[in-house]
Amino acid sequence: MNVTVIGSASAGTSEERALRDLYLEHGPDLYAYVLRLLEGDTHRAEDVVQETLLRCWSKQNLADGEGMAVRPWMFRVARNLVIDGHRVRMARPTEVSGATWLTERGADTDHIDRMLSSVVVRDALRALSPAHQDVLLATFFADRTTKQAAAVLGIPQGTVKSRVHYALRSLRVALEDRGAAA
């Protein structure tokens, strides 16, 4: 039985010889381009180059040399394959392995730590004067500028700035009193 590998020296048809020539001419540059897109993943880069050449072989009339410019088309196809592969990986749920499970358990711990920290911060905020609470809520927690907060609170912008300064100082002391060192 005679097996011919596409692009090999023993390629029989003119299309197969044209594909081999195409690979020899553009393959190294295409591989380097795809390797950069995939941030050094050699296995995926080889797969993308192979798929690109197979698409070129099935879509282009290689034997006659007709059709559009092959090189830009190949690079565009390779880029699209990389983008499609990335989209597929982003759409798939993440696979769970032992390491992933441990990482997820660590994420739960981080969530608990954040929740406990928020309880401490809320308690420390309650220790501040109402004016300091209002100015911090109007600026940091509402994500407003001092000018916007001044308009909401109905006080001058300079007053907002000084209250924020003293409120943050008081908040730092209140957090230190609760064991939450900066």
3-state secondary structure of 170: helix
Residues 87 and 146 in one domain: no
Residues 27 and 76 in one domain: yes
Residues 73 and 115 in one domain: no
Mean pLDDT, residues 90-109: 59
Which of 28, 59, 91 finishes a domain?
91
Indicate the number of domains in the chain. Answer: 2
Which of 91, 114, 135 finishes a domain?
91
Expressed as residue numbers, the domain containing 64 is 14-91
Query: Quick one: what percent of the chain has pLDDT higher than 70?
Result: 76
pTM of this prediction?
0.43
Residues 104 and 86 in one domain: no
At 34-81, the pLDDT tens digits run 999 888 889 999 999 999 988 887 776 555 555 457 888 889 999 999
Alpha helices (runs of H) in the chain, residue ranges in sequence order: 14-37, 42-59, 70-91, 98-126, 130-136, 146-153, 157-177
Residue 19 lies in a domain: yes
Residue 5 lies in a domain: no
